[in-house]
Homo-oligomer: A and B are copies of this chain.
Amino acid sequence: MSSAIAGAAADGSVAVGGRKAPADKYDERRRALGDSALRTLGELGYARASLREIANNSEFSHGVVHYYFEDKHDLIVYCVREYKSVCVRRYDGVIADSTTPEELVGGFADKLIETLRDEAAMHRLWYDVRTQSMFDDRLRAVAVEIDGWLEEMVGRVVGRYAELAGTVPALPASVLYGIVDGLFQQALLGVTQGREGVLEELHALVHALLPTMVTPA
């Protein structure tokens, strides 16, 4: 019986207290498997990454996936949501610590090209999942959810920038996100193609564009 999954789902919400709960180890393993899967998924993409390949690149065998996850869809949703939930918090420090508009732009642009350089595989996986969500109903919900997170993130950055500049954003967050996301995606495509200077261009572009996203002071 698949008591492990059902049981853990029940236990997990109860959040047992005193001793080293078994749910801890379960969640830990689940996270480890998710991390490992994330690497393979980022390398091969949603369609090409089979459960066997994912398991091969981990310390487990291929059958274990169904012990910790309901099915492939469940695993992928878990992985992407896990990654993206920390991803959207990347600029919180910059937002909190910046005291001038220029400082915020610099910090934002720096971290943007940093993640573009270091985590390109994760980003292309996200775009893969979001695109697949247009064909697969089961991915729709999580894609919409994460897209909402990202929109809020961009909204926070531009909102804080406007605040520091003593003004307000010139466009709704959804539009700002669409613009930033489009440019980021183009940069990601450029990175994947091995084009030179992509990171520097995006860095400069952010500096040039952010001031135009708020109403003149």
- Chain A residues packing against B (C-beta within 8 Å): 43-48, 124, 127-128, 130-136, 140, 143-144, 147, 174-175, 177-183, 185-186, 188-189, 192-193, 205, 212
Contact = CB atoms under 8 A, between A and B. Distances in A.
Contact of A182 (B48, B133, B140, B183): B183
Contact of A134 (B144, B183, B192): B192
B134 A131 contact: no
A12 B131 CA distance: 35
- Nearest first, the 10 closest Cβ-Cβ pairs linking A and B are A182-B182, A47-B47, A45-B135, A178-B186, A178-B183, A124-B134, A134-B192, A178-B182, A131-B131, A181-B182
Contacts of A143: 189
A153 B45 CA distance: 30
Given A128-B134, A131-B131, A179-B179, 16 more contacts: A45-B132, A45-B135, A46-B47, A127-B131, A128-B131, A128-B135, A130-B189, A133-B189, A134-B192, A140-B192, A140-B193, A143-B189, A175-B205, A181-B182, A181-B186, A185-B185
A178 B177 CA distance: 12
Q: Do most interface residues of chain A lie in helix, strand or loop, or is the interface mixed?
A: helix
Nearest to A124: B134
Contacts of A181: 182, 185-186
Given A47-B47, A124-B131, A128-B131, A186 B177 contact: yes
Nearest to A147: B189
B45 A144 contact: no
A136 B48 CA distance: 10
Contacts of A186: 174, 177-178, 181
Contacts of A177: 186
A133 B177 CA distance: 23
